[in-house]
Structure 1
Amino acid sequence: MSLSISYIVEDAGWAQITISDGEGEIVNHVSYLHDSLRDLAELAIEVRSGAKTAKAIFMDEPGELQLVVSKNQNQIGFEARWFKDWQSWGLTSSSDYDVLLKGEATVQCLVDQVTDVLTKIHKNIGPKKYKEMWVEHEFPLEQYRELINA
């Protein structure tokens, strides 16, 4: 199996994430209510740095998608979990979700996918325009630099 991640910044305060396992994919809207791009960058950094588990949150209005990663040596297992409400804000139980997609990949594949997402946004939009479009959150420049310099 494999992992593919696309993250497209759309109109002000909205993005779209696509996660694929090589056979199926999920597409979800992402709201500015959470700093999801930073979460995604930190997930890659944490897993690369040895964390056994990590997650990134992608809030929709309503609902929440979580990408949950478990590491075993150089491999990861991943699940895309859908919550009907904002679990990260305590509006639904952490056990009340549907698994929309799951698979396995290498740690390097995850890091490469996230780095590619950040590189495209940095190149095509830039940190200043990203902040204007995303309103509440800065482009995760520090995390981006850490990933490209690794």
Structure 2
Amino acid sequence: MQIQIDYRLTDIGWAECTVSSGERTCLVTASYESDALRNLVLAANGVLAGFSALTFRFDEEPGEFRWVITAPRHNEVQIDILQFPELWGARPDAEGISLYTSRCRPIVFAKAVADAARRVLEAHGESGYLEKWDAHPFPAAQYADLVKAIEKDGED
């Protein structure tokens, strides 16, 4: 299955991320409280590296969007996005509200994340990103690692 990810800086310290596959679409937001784009890029790197499970979050004020990525089978990842009403509540996944679930190949997820990060970089540049995101620089090193990992995966 294909997946599309669109990540946009919407205001100083705020971003929106739309994730869609087939007829499923989910819009989540993030504040500068978390390094959301970096977390997303790191997750894509982890998926390509073979992690069987990882979790990260987009922090809200208040609240949290928790991304839970698991590998239910060889060469497949499941992406679940859960919503929690409080920030840093450390609630179990089972207590979250499920907003989105989809499965795809790891490379499909990684390419969707890389494309989203590339569009953000093209739109703002590194200095513009820092100015708009405020607390965290563009994850240039992690993005470069992701691009290399995608290229390497294509060579295998």
Matched, 1:81 2:79: no
**In structure 1, distance between residues paired with 2:133 and 2:18:** 18
Shift of 1:2: 3.3
Amino acid at match of 1:107: P
Number of matched pairs: 147
Higher helix share: 2
For residue 92 of structure 1, report the CA deviation from its aligned partner: 4.9
After superposition, the CA RMSD in angstroms is 1.3
The Cα of 1:56 is off from its aligned counterpart by 2.8
Q: Which residue of 1 aligns with 2:124?
A: 125
1:148 aligned counterpart, secondary structure: helix
CA distance in 2 between counterparts of 1:64 and 1:22 reads: 25
Matched residue type, 1:33? E
Identify the residue that residue 36 of structure 1 maps to in structure 2: 36
Which SS does the other structure have where 2:144 is aligned? Answer: helix
Moved over 3 A (4+): none
Say if 1:131 and 1:137, in contact at 8 Å, map to a contact too: yes
Q: Residues 134, 23 of structure 1: CA spacing in aligned structure 2 closer, same or farther, 3 A cutoff?
A: same
- Identical aligned residues as a percent: 29
The residue type equivalent to 2:109 in the other structure is L
Name the CA distance, whole Å, in 2 between partners of 1:56 and 1:5.
Answer: 16
Structure 2 CA distance for aligned equivalents of residues 52 and 10 of structure 1: 32
The answer to whether 1:109 aligns with 2:111 is: no
Report the AA paired with residue 86 of structure 2: D
Tell me by how many angstroms 1:53 deviates. 0.8
The alpha-carbon deviation at position 107 of structure 1 amounts to: 0.5
TM-score with structure 1 setting the length:
0.92
Q: Which amino acid aligns with 2:76?
A: Q
1:140 aligns with 2:139: yes
Q: Any conservation in 2 of the 1:39–1:55 contact (CA below 8 Å)?
A: no
Question: Shift of the alpha carbon at 1:24?
Answer: 1.8
Aligned to 1:149: 148
TM-score when normalising by structure 2:
0.88
Ranges in structure 1 where 5+ consecutive residues have no aligned partner: none
8 Å contact kept, 1:21–1:101? no
